[in-house]
Amino acid sequence: MTGIAAAAAPTRVRVELGPRAYDILIGRGLIGRAGGEIAERLPGVRAAIVTDRNLAAHHLDRLVASLEAAGISSVPVIAEPGEASKGFATLETVTRAVLAARLERRDIIVALGGGVVGDLSGFVAAITRRGMRFVQ
């Protein structure tokens, strides 16, 4: 990335929830910066990247490279796109993939996408290992 977009810092919006407060970053180029942003806040984590087939084709390689550059190992978990993936079968598949990767409670689930991917990822994070951390 070149020019103004490369130099511009993302907009940071703080969601105040007491001890559960978190930041939302909005801006261009965040997939390429994701590894550094995550490593700064959660050093030493490993990640499951949950996404769908369509998003994976366009963005997964960049996110994996960003995580690797920051020293974060990851395992991609790719679901089919659309509302049909909001079922127990997909939930089970994604949860089993996270468990098979031997990710622990201190590790993270990264949702690469919103909508179905975000809902599915958040639910997997909530029920796996008594609650894992979640990044979207």
Task: Report pLDDT digits (tens) over 76-135.
Answer: 999 999 988 989 999 999 999 999 999 999 999 999 999 999 999 999 999 999 999 999
pLDDT tens column, 28-72: 999 999 999 999 999 999 999 999 999 999 999 999 999 999 999
pTM: 0.88
Q: Look up tokens 């995580």; give the residue.
A: 67
